[in-house]
C-alpha cells in the first residue's frame, strides 16, 4: 500500500486541488509528473511541488497530444485527473454550445485521458477521477454540472469493472478555495465563500490540502475501487 517511489501522473496538477494532490504524493514519497495546458503554470508548479517533479504541457481534450504525452511519460503507477471546466447557468437559457464545451472538458477530457493512459498504467495501480458535490446536490443553475459529475461517477464504476485489477475511483469535492474562482472579483468570491461556509456542518469551505488527502487514500488503499469519495464538509446533510 506504500506510495514510496511510485510514479504518479496528475493531469491538472498545476493549480488548486491538483497542485495540492501533487504535493501530497511527493510527501508520500512518490515521483510526480504534472500536466496542464499553460507552460507558465507547469513551470511554476514544478518549483512549488519541488523534489524532482516533472512537468508537461498538454490539453487533455486532445487525444493526439495525450498519446504523445503518455509515450513520453512511459510506465507509471497512479493516474489522477483534476483538470476540467464546467459551466453554470439557468437551464432554459444556457446555450447547448456551452453545455457541450463543458462536457468536452470535464467528462470527455477525463474519458479520453484514461483511454490514452491505459497502455502505460501498472496493473497494481489506480485511476482517480474528479466529480463534485453538485452531482449529488445541485443548487439552481447547476444542471450541467450535476449531469457531468454524475456521468464521471458512473463512468468510474463501469471502468472499475472493465479495467480491473486496476482500481478506478472518484473524488467528489465540495466548495474549495482554488484559482477556479479567480475570475470573480474579490468581494463576490469572499461573499460566496462566507455564505457557503455558514451552511456547512464544518462551517468552513475546504482548503485544497483537505481534498488532496482523499486522492492519496484512494491511490494507496488496495481494497478500494468503484467508489466515489465525497469530501464536502457536510453539504449533503445540511
Ligand X SMILES: NC(=O)c1ccc[n+]([C@@H]2O[C@H](COP(=O)([O-])OP(=O)(O)OC[C@H]3O[C@@H](n4cnc5c(N)ncnc54)[C@H](OP(=O)(O)O)[C@@H]3O)[C@@H](O)[C@H]2O)c1
Q: Which is nearer to ligand X, 5 or 138 (CB)?
A: 138
- Choice between 155 and 176, CB closer to ligand X: 176
Q: How far is the CB of 172 from ligand X (least distance, A)?
A: 7
- Closer to ligand X at the Cβ: 30 or 149? 149
- Pick between residue 83 and residue 127 the one whose CB is nearest to ligand X: 83
The least CB distance from residue 223 to ligand X, in Å, is 25
In sequence order, the 6+-apart residues with CB closer than 8 A to the CB of 176 are 16, 17, 205, 206, 207, 208, 210, 211
Q: How far is the CB of 131 from ligand X (least distance, A)?
A: 7
Looking at beta carbons only, is 60 or 76 nearer to ligand X? 60
Distance CA 174, CA 47 (A): 28
On the question of a cis peptide bond just before residue 165, with omega within 30 degrees of 0, the verdict is: yes
CB of 40 to ligand X, least distance (A): 8
Binding site for ligand X (CB under 6 A): 11-12, 14-18, 36-38, 41, 59-61, 82-86, 105-106, 109, 130, 132, 173, 175-176, 178-180
Cβ 6 to ligand X, closest distance in Å?
A: 21
- Please identify which of the residues 15, 30, 36, 131 carries the catalytic annotation: 131
Decide if 172 is catalytic.
no
Cell of 165: 485489477
Nearest residue to ligand X, using CB? 16
What contacts 224, CB < 8 A, 6 or more positions away? 167, 169, 217, 218
Q: Active-site residue numbers?
A: 131
Amino acid at each position: 500500500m506504500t506510495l514510496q517511489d511510485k510514479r504518479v501522473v496528475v493531469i491538472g496538477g498545476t493549480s488548486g486541488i491538483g497542485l495540492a494532490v501533487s504535493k501530497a504524493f511527493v510527501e508520500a514519497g512518490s515521483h510526480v509528473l504534472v500536466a496542464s495546458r499553460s507552460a507558465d503554470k507547469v513551470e511554476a508548479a514544478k518549483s512549488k511541488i519541488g523534489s524532482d517533479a516533472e512537468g508537461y504541457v498538454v490539453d487533455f481534450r486532445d487525444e493526439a497530444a495525450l498519446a504523445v504525452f503518455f509515450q513520453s511519460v512511459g510506465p507509471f503507477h497512479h493516474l489522477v485527473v483534476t483538470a476540467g471546466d464546467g459551466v453554470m447557468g439557468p437551464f432554459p437559457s444556457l446555450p447547448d454550445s456551452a453545455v457541450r464545451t463543458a462536457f468536452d472538458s470535464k467528462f470527455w477530457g477525463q474519458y479520453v485521458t484514461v483511454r490514452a493512459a491505459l497502455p502505460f498504467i501498472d496493473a497494481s495501480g489506480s485511476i482517480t477521477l474528479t466529480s463534485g458535490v453538485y452531482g449529488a446536490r445541485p443548487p439552481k443553475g447547476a444542471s450541467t454540472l450535476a449531469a457531468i459529475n454524475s456521468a464521471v461517477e458512473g463512468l468510474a464504476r463501469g471502468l472499475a469493472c472493465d479495467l480491473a485489477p486496476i482500481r478506478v475511483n472518484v473524488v467528489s469535492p465540495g466548495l474549495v478555495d482554488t484559482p477556479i474562482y479567480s475570475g470573480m472579483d474579490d468581494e463576490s468570491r469572499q461573499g460566496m465563500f462566507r455564505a457557503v461556509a455558514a451552511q456547512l456542518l464544518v462551517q468552513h469551505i475546504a482548503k485544497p490540502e483537505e481534498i488532496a488527502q482523499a486522492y492519496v487514500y484512494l491511490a494507496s488503499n488496495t481494497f478500494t475501487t468503484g467508489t466515489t469519495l465525497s469530501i464536502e464538509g457536510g453539504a449533503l446533510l445540511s
